[in-house]
Structure 1
Amino acid sequence: MVTDAHTTAFQSTDADTIGTYLSDAYGAGMQVRSSEQRPLLRHRRTHTTGFDVDAIAQSATLDFQGEPLPTVVIVATSTARLHRTSGDSDRRYGPGEICLGAYPGLPFTCTWSPGELTTCVLDPAALAHVAAPAPGRHTPLIRFTSLDPLSPAAAAHWRHTHSYVTELLTNSEAAASPLLVATAAHLIATVTLTTFANTALTDPTIEDRHDATPTTLRRAIAYIDENAARDVTVADIAAAANISLRALQLVFRRHRDTTPMAYLRRVRLDHAHHTLATADPGATTVAAVAARWGFTTPRRFAALYRGAYGVPPARTLRDTP
Structure 2
Amino acid sequence: MTDSAAVRTTYTTRDPEAAREHLEAACGAAVRMEVRLAAGAYEVTRIDAGPFALTELCLPGRLSTAFSPAGLLTVGCLRSGCAELRSGDRSERLGAGDVCLEGRPEEARTLVSEDLRISSVLLPADLVERAADDLSPRRSRPVQFTGLLPAGPRMAALWQRTADFARGAVLTPGGLCPPVAGETARLLAATALAVFPTDLDIGPPSADLRDAGPETLRRAKAFIEANAQHDITLAHVAAAAYVTPRAVQYAFRRHMDTTPLHYARRVRLDHAHTELQDADPGAGATVTDIAARWGFTHAGRFAAAYRRAYGEPPRTTLRR
Same topology, TM > 0.5: yes
Q: CA deviation at 1:138?
A: 8.0
| Partner residue in 2 for 1:143 | 144
2:285 counterpart of 1:284: yes
| Matched letter for residue 143 of structure 1 | Q
Superposed, which structure 2 residues align to 1:116-195 within 5 Å?
Answer: 116-132=117-133, 140-175=141-176, 177-195=177-195
Aligned to 2:81, the other structure's residue is in SS state coil
8 Å contact from structure 2 (residues 52, 123) kept in 1: yes
Aligned in 2, Cα 1:98/1:138: closer, same or farther, shift over 3 Å?
Answer: closer
| CA distance in 2 between partners of 1:310 and 1:120 (Å) | 37
8 Å contact from structure 2 (residues 38, 62) kept in 1: no
Aligned to 1:58, the other structure's residue is in SS state strand
Aligned in 2, Cα 1:103/1:130: closer, same or farther, shift over 3 Å?
Answer: closer
8 Å contact from structure 1 (residues 61, 113) kept in 2: yes
Aligned in 2, Cα 1:280/1:123: closer, same or farther, shift over 3 Å?
Answer: same
Aligned residue pairs total 318
Question: Structure 2: 5+ residue runs without aligned partners?
Answer: none
2:111 counterpart of 1:110: yes
8 Å contact from structure 2 (residues 105, 125) kept in 1: no
| Matched letter for residue 185 of structure 2 | A
| Partner residue in 1 for 2:33 | 32
Q: CA deviation at 1:35?
A: 2.5
| Partner residue in 1 for 2:206 | 206
Aligned to 1:248, the other structure's residue is in SS state helix
| Partner residue in 1 for 2:7 | 6
Deviates more, 1:29-38 or 1:205-214: 29-38
Deviates more, 1:245-254 or 1:58-67: 58-67
Aligned in 2, Cα 1:166/1:274: closer, same or farther, shift over 3 Å?
Answer: same
| Partner residue in 1 for 2:81 | 80
| Partner residue in 2 for 1:263 | 263
RMSD, aligned α-carbons: 2.4
| Matched letter for residue 14 of structure 1 | D
8 Å contact from structure 1 (residues 130, 235) kept in 2: no
2:272 counterpart of 1:272: yes
Q: CA deviation at 1:88?
A: 3.7
Aligned to 2:197, the other structure's residue is in SS state strand
2:260 counterpart of 1:223: no
Aligned in 2, Cα 1:20/1:139: closer, same or farther, shift over 3 Å?
Answer: farther
Q: CA deviation at 1:241?
A: 0.9
| Partner residue in 1 for 2:242 | 242
8 Å contact from structure 1 (residues 36, 61) kept in 2: yes
Q: CA deviation at 1:122?
A: 0.6
| CA distance in 2 between partners of 1:137 and 1:203 (Å) | 11
**Residues 117-160 of structure 1, C-alpha deviations (whole Å, 9 max, x = no match):** 111111011112233359x9787422211111122122112112
| Partner residue in 2 for 1:298 | 299
**Residues 197-247 of structure 1, C-alpha deviations (whole Å, 9 max, x = no match):** 223443320111121121111111110010001101112111111211111
State TM-score, norm by structure 2.
0.90
State TM-score, norm by structure 1.
0.90
Q: CA deviation at 1:94?
A: 1.2
| CA distance in 1 between partners of 2:281 and 2:107 (Å) | 56
| Matched letter for residue 289 of structure 2 | A
Aligned to 1:252, the other structure's residue is in SS state helix
| Matched letter for residue 227 of structure 2 | N
Q: CA deviation at 1:299?
A: 2.1
| CA distance in 2 between partners of 1:182 and 1:271 (Å) | 19
Q: CA deviation at 1:42?
A: 0.9
| CA distance in 1 between partners of 2:17 and 2:223 (Å) | 52
8 Å contact from structure 1 (residues 14, 39) kept in 2: no
Aligned to 2:56, the other structure's residue is in SS state strand
Aligned in 2, Cα 1:37/1:147: closer, same or farther, shift over 3 Å?
Answer: closer
| Matched letter for residue 303 of structure 2 | A
8 Å contact from structure 1 (residues 132, 139) kept in 2: no
Q: CA deviation at 1:38?
A: 6.9
Q: CA deviation at 1:182?
A: 2.0
8 Å contact from structure 1 (residues 202, 246) kept in 2: no
Question: Structure 1: 5+ residue runs without aligned partners?
Answer: none
Q: CA deviation at 1:115?
A: 3.7
Aligned in 2, Cα 1:104/1:229: closer, same or farther, shift over 3 Å?
Answer: closer
Q: CA deviation at 1:46?
A: 0.7
| CA distance in 2 between partners of 1:202 and 1:302 (Å) | 36
Q: CA deviation at 1:52?
A: 0.8
| Matched letter for residue 233 of structure 1 | T
| Matched letter for residue 23 of structure 2 | L
Percent of residue pairs identical: 34
| CA distance in 1 between partners of 2:222 and 2:105 (Å) | 39
| CA distance in 2 between partners of 1:119 and 1:104 (Å) | 14
| CA distance in 2 between partners of 1:289 and 1:192 (Å) | 32
